[in-house]
Structure 1
Amino acid sequence: MKMLSKRQVTELVLYSPQHIARLEAAGRFPLRVKLGHNRVGWVEDEILDWLQQRINVRNQQH
């Protein structure tokens, strides 16, 4: 299992850290994992699945 940093996630999904936090709070984005005192990460497969869901929605609309 690979973990992604906040920087990696923001580069991958093209959202700001603030927007990602809002989506997480609303239950609309994979939740972060606390890795240490000042460190969080996201499970790469969960982020990729979330992106794939966005692509699937787009494809269903066309």
Structure 2
Amino acid sequence: MRVMKLNEVINITGLSRSSIYAYMAKGVFPKPIQLGPRAVAWVEEEIQGWLQVRLDERS
């Protein structure tokens, strides 16, 4: 399992930081895992899955 920090999630999804957190608040974006008191990261497979659903919706 690989985890990604926020900057990598931003680069892969093309979303801004505020959009990512807004989607998380709505429950439509994967939530991060806590790495430490002030550090979080997202599971790569969850982000890839979220992107795949978006691509599938286009078809």
Query: What is the TM-score when the length of structure 1 is the normalising length?
Result: 0.92
Question: 1:47 and 2:47 equivalent?
Answer: yes
Residue ranges of structure 2 left out of the alignment (5+ in a row):
none
Q: Max radius of gyration: which structure?
A: 1
CA offsets, 1:3-62, max 9 Å, x none?
A: 000000000000111110000000010011111011100000000000000000001xxx
- Distance in 2 (CA, whole Å) between partners of 1:32 and 1:18 is 14
Q: Which piece of structure 1 moves more, 30-39 or 49-58? A: 30-39
Q: Percent identity?
A: 36
Task: Count matched residues.
Answer: 59
- One-letter amino acid matched to 1:39: A
- Distance in 2 (CA, whole Å) between partners of 1:14 and 1:39 is 21
Residue ranges of structure 1 left out of the alignment (5+ in a row):
none
Corresponding residue for 1:13? 13
- One-letter amino acid matched to 1:7: N
